[in-house]
């Protein structure tokens, strides 16, 4: 007899834009975000018996998102996501768990004629500030904040050697390589009992985001990295130190590679670190582009290393 063993449903990719007009100062602030709402609870018969009486329409979830955005602050995103998630579990007796994911996009104020412009912004990069809030009738509010899509590269100051070798290994030890990654860094807050507890933590959310971002960038830049693994572990340690309300920090870092192209160079490609492979141009009039003369590399999209960890207290 088949059984529905898990079910949730909701609205994804709800795009919301909110403007705040400061009439006195003559300036405006904008927030753009993409929201996903997913609900769980006593919804089984909608799947098994076509009984829709308990189905909160996904369109209702979208309309609710706009209404909550109108009536409440959308910043910090931790607060907005928690208010919205809490709304669903508080309003509907048969909804037991509501998950709200908010992805805030960057609109950075333009500087024009040396002054911050009152109402013009630019998208400076693919980085987003992400939050997931899960409101559970049984367990309270779980919140994870994150930085995603932050692209970074260092052209030296990274090595990778001393790794496991056997007959499947061709990678050479490397003392100096290019290191590039797209940062996905998350931090889980101690579970909040109620929405009030989230509200009283509001000043900490922006501060934690700033700290996590700064630690990530500074350690990435300053550290002589022996591996992605060790560098990300140090970042986790620093964030845990600076943000006592956080119980765990996680990173997911793809290793973006800089490869040589060209079938004739396959042997060379296999023998160097995958993240730092030179384009050998000696076939063209003896052009020197290897060793100390290396300047031109060939970035590759796949395959890539993927290094992940979670560090808890
Ligand atoms: O920092 C790294 N960690 C690895 O596990 C790894 N594996 C690899 O091929 N290059 C790298 N670099």
Tell me, what's the pLDDT at 299?
80
Q: Which of 159, 163, 172, 179 to mutate to test the pocket of ligand 1 (most atoms within 8 A of CB)?
A: 163
State yes or no: is 11 an active-site residue. Answer: yes
Tell me, what's the pLDDT at 268?
40
DSSP per residue over 119-168, as a string? EEEE---S-EEEEEEEEETTTEEEEEEEEEEEEEEESSSB-B-S---STT
pLDDT band at 199 (very low <50, low <70, confident <90, very high): very high
Q: Tell me what the mean pLDDT of segment 265-280 comes to.
A: 49
Catalytic residue among 101, 103, 256, 257: 257
Measured CA to CA, the distance from residue 13 to residue 257 in angstroms comes to: 31
Tell me, what's the pLDDT at 216?
98
Strands 115-122 and 9-22: unpaired
For ligand 1, atom 6, the nearest C-alpha belongs to: 305
Indicate if the pLDDT at residue 264 is higher than 50.
no
Distance 67 CA to ligand 1 centre (A): 47
Q: What is the pTM assigned to this prediction?
A: 0.91
Indicate if the pLDDT at residue 105 is higher than 80.
yes
Tell me, what's the pLDDT at 246?
97
Q: Which of 305, 307, 309 to mutate to test the pocket of ligand 1 (most atoms within 8 A of CB)?
A: 305
Indicate if the pLDDT at residue 269 is higher than 50.
no
Mean pLDDT: which of 17-21, 176-180, 304-308 is highest?
17-21
Catalytic residue among 27, 58, 60, 191: 58
Task: Specify the DSSP class assigned to residue 292.
Answer: G
Q: Write out the residue limits of the CATH 3.10.270.10 domain(s) in the chain.
A: 1-138
Which CATH number is 1-138's, of 3.40.50.300, 3.30.930.10, 3.40.718.10, 3.10.270.10?
3.10.270.10
How far CA 189 is from CA of 99, 252, 253, 276, in Å, comes to: 15, 18, 21, 37
Identify the bridge partners of residue 22 per DSSP, sorted by sequence position. 27
Two tokens, residue 206: 């922006």
Distance 227 CA to ligand 1 centre (A): 6
| Backbone phi and psi for residue 150, each to the nearest 5 degrees, phi listed first | -90, 110
How far CA 212 is from CA of 209, 232, 241, 243, in Å, comes to: 5, 12, 11, 9
Q: Which atom of ligand 1 is nearest to the CA of 231?
A: 1
Share of the chain above pLDDT 70, in %: 93
Measured CA to CA, the distance from residue 27 to residue 59 in angstroms comes to: 33
Sign of CA dihedral 106, 107, 112, 116: negative
- Residue found by looking up tokens 């018996």 in the block: 49
Task: Specify the DSSP class assigned to residue 283.
Answer: T
Two tokens, residue 269: 């490609």
Distance, C-alpha 24 to centroid of its chain: 36
Mean pLDDT over all residues of the chain? 93
The beta-carbon contacts of 212-217 under 8 Å, at least 24 apart in sequence, are 212/145, 212/147, 212/185, 212/187, 212/239, 212/243, 212/249, 213/147, 213/150, 215/239, 215/242, 216/147, 216/150, 216/152, 216/183, 216/185, 217/152
Distance 267 CA to ligand 1 centre (A): 19
Tell me, what's the pLDDT at 265?
40
Indicate if the pLDDT at residue 220 is higher than 90.
yes
Is residue 214 helix, strand or coil? helix
Q: Within 6 Å (CB) of ligand 1, which residues are found? A: 160, 171, 227-229, 255, 274, 305, 307
Lowest mean pLDDT among 32-46, 103-117, 264-278, 280-294: 264-278
Distance 162 CA to ligand 1 centre (A): 11
- Residue found by looking up tokens 């753009």 in the block: 32
Tell me, what's the pLDDT at 82?
98
Q: Do the annotations mark residue 177 as ligand-binding?
A: yes
Two tokens, residue 297: 């590399």
């Amino acid at each position: 007899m088949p059984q529905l063993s898990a079910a949730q449903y909701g609205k994804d990719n709800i795009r919301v834009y909110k403007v705040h007009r400061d009439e006195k100062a003559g300036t405006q602030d904008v927030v753009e975000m993409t929201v996903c709402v997913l609900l769980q609870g006593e919804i089984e018969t909608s799947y098994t018996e076509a009984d829709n009486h308990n189905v909160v329409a996904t369109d209702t979830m979208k309309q609710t998102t706009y209404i909550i955005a109108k009536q409440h602050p959308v910043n910090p995103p931790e607060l907005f996501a928690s208010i919205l998630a809490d709304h669903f579990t508080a309003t509907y007796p048969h909804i037991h768990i509501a998950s709200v994911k908010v992805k805030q996009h960057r609109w950075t104020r333009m500087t024009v004629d040396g002054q911050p412009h009152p109402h013009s912004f630019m998208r400076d990069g693919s980085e987003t500030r992400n939050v997931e809030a899960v409101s559970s009738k049984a367990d309270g509010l779980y919140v994870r904040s994150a930085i995603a899509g932050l692209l970074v590269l260092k052209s030296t100051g990274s090595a990778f050697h001393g790794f496991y070798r056997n007959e499947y290994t061709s990678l050479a030890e490397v003392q100096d390589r290019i290191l590039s990654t797209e940062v996905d860094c998350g931090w889980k807050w101690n579970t909040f009992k109620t929405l009030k507890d989230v509200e009283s933590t509001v000043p900490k959310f922006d501060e934690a985001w700033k700290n996590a971002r700064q630690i990530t960038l500074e350690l990435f830049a300053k550290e002589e990295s022996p591996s992605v693994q060790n560098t990300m572990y140090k970042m986790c340690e620093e964030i845990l130190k600076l943000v006592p309300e956080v119980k765990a920090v996680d990173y997911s870092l793809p290793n973006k590679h800089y490869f040589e192209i060209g079938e004739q160079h396959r042997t060379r490609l296999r023998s160097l670190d995958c993240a730092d492979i030179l384009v050998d141009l000696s076939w063209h009039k003896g052009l020197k582009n290897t060793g100390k003369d290396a300047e031109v590399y060939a970035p590759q999209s796949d395959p890539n290393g993927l290094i992940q960890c979670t560090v808890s207290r």
